[in-house]
């Protein structure tokens, strides 16, 4: 959530950056400033009346102690209306603050100055590309056919149990899934991340803190009777570990990682681009989260991007890094890099990770602060990234490593799988 003072002091810049994100409710900025003016004026009036009331109370006490009861009673009657006025002003103030809050939460985060203009994914900027396309046999198959051929993933059985988008991993497919999770966690530990095992359900306050609510409730599974939400990513519970916390500056940066299943209701259209593992309602992911000093967040964003790239390099996957344009960015992000791997069998790029800097947007919503060495409290910057999301990684491994005789397992996974070939 943006801070009102920042909006007021940087109005033209705020309007310019919101336009980069193709936000079409720019009138909210003026409405927020006007409401803040009303809030300040109403608060000032209430404070003045309260001060006068406190002064009158002291006078009444003094008059009573001096035996001037009649004068005291007269002053009491004069201040009774003032109490009613204070009550009305406080009610007005509460209504103004609620309206101000409701408008503030509609504003997305401001994009970083480096975010390119654009409205669609086709306008994202390719930052770099690494690796060569694999040379596949003429009989190469997409991963959903490979899964059936080698009996490692059963999509129909998942439909029977839960519905489309809930695959069942079997045999070496299940072991590959577990191996990828353990490999990603082991690499995160090497990079200095502390692992957290967190709940898969969160409350509204947690969803609001990281920006999923009230923006994305339609994409989340909701447990109505308990008013809880199945997590769309480990980012939500891991970041919320620090909600309503004041950290010490020397504790920064905080580096956490976590593996969780993730749940998303988002419905996909029909076609090859959503077949098999390409888009699921339940999938596994290892997430990395950092809470950092504002002066270091963009340097750390690059470090997190390099960490994700190192995983793709060790898996031997061709990949590219995109800087998302304003129209393709998330509501909460100031700058996002997407990592995509190339699927040679499907002949297209598949998104496998997003690494984002949220600056103070989440920390303000979370009421997360840190106390500097001089005792002043500040908002830290929060960052997170997929390191990695498994479905499309597994799909790309299966497709890009297929041979006439089976599927070769990347060398970095063999210590975790116990086998080097799927046949």
The annotation places the binding site for L-serine at 233, 264, 287, 384
Instruction: Please enumerate, by residue number, every residue annotated as part of a binding site for ATP.
Output: 264-266, 351-354
Could you give the CA distance from residue 396 to residue 383 in angstroms, rounded to a whole number? 26
SS3 of 42-53: the string is HHHHHHHHHHHH
| Beta partners for residue 405, in sequence order | none
Alpha helices in 105-224 (DSSP H): 143-149, 155-161, 172-190, 204-209
* Core vs surface per residue 289-316: b (16+ CB within 10 A) or e: bbbbeeeebbebbeebbebbbebbeebb
Count helices and strands in the chain by DSSP H and E runs: 13, 18
| Beta partners for residue 355, in sequence order | 337, 385
Structure tokens that stand for 415 in this block: 């210590």
Could you give the CA distance from residue 147 to residue 173 in angstroms, rounded to a whole number? 8
Instruction: Please enumerate, by residue number, every residue annotated as part of a binding site.
Output: 233, 264-266, 287, 351-354, 384
Cβ atoms within 10 Å of 330's Cβ, excluding its own = 18
* Core vs surface per residue 58-89: b (16+ CB within 10 A) or e: eebeebeeeeeeeebeeeeeebeeeeeebeeb
Find all residues with CB under 8 Å of 255, minimum gap 6, and list them.
191, 192, 193, 194, 288, 289, 290
SS3 of 190-236: the string is HCCCEECCCCCEECHHHHHHCCCCCCCHHHCCEECCCCEEECCCCHH
What are the φ and ψ backbone dihedral angles of 202, each rounded to 5 degrees?
-130, 160
Could you give the CA distance from residue 128 to residue 111 in angstroms, rounded to a whole number? 21
């Amino acid at each position: 959530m943006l801070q009102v003072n920042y909006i007021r002091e940087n109005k033209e810049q705020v309007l310019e950056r919101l336009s980069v994100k193709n936000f079409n409710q720019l009138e909210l900025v003026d409405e927020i400033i006007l409401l803040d003016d009303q809030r300040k004026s109403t608060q000032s009036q209430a404070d003045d009346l309260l001060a006068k009331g406190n002064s009158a109370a002291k006078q009444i006490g003094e008059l009573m102690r001096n035996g001037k009861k009649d004068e005291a009673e007269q002053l009491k009657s004069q201040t009774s209306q003032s109490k009613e006025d204070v009550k009305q002003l406080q009610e007005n103030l509460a209504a103004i603050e609620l309206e101000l809050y409701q408008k503030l939460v509609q504003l997305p985060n401001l994009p970083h100055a480096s975010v390119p203009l654009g409205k669609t994914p086709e306008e994202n900027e390719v930052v770099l590309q690494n690796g060569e396309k694999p040379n596949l046999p003429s009989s190469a198959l997409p991963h959903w056919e490979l899964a059936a051929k080698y009996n490692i993933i059963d999509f129909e059985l998942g439909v029977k149990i839960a519905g489309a988008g809930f695959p069942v991993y079997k045999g070496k497919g299940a072991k590959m899934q577990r191996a990828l999770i353990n490999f990603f966690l082991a690499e995160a530990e090497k990079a200095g991340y502390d692992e957290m095992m967190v709940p898969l359900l969160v409350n509204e306050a947690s969803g609001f803190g990281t920006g999923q609510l009230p923006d994305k409730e339609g994409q989340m599974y909701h447990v109505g009777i308990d008013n809880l939400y199945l997590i769309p990513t480990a980012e939500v519970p891991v970041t919320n570990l620090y909600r309503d916390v004041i950290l010490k500056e020397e504790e920064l940066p905080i580096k956490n990682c976590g593996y969780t299943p993730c749940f998303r209701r988002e419905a996909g259209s029909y076609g090859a681009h959503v077949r098999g593992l390409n888009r699921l309602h339940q999938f596994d992911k290892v997430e990395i989260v950092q809470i950092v000093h504002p002066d270091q967040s963009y340097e750390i964003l690059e470090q997190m991007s390099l960490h994700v790239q190192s995983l793709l390099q060790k898996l031997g996957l061709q990949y590219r890094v995109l800087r998302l344009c304003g129209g393709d960015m998330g509501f909460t992000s100031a700058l996002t890099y997407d990592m995509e791997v190339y699927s040679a069998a499907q002949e297209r790029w598949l998104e496998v990770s997003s690494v984002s800097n949220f600056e103070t947007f989440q920390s303000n919503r979370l009421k997360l602060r840190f106390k500097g060495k001089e005792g002043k409290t500040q908002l830290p910057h929060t960052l997170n990234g997929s390191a990695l999301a498994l479905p499309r990684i597994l799909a790309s491994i299966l497709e890009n490593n297929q041979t006439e005789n089976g599927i070769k397992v990347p060398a970095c996974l063999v210590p975790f799988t116990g086998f080097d070939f799927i046949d």
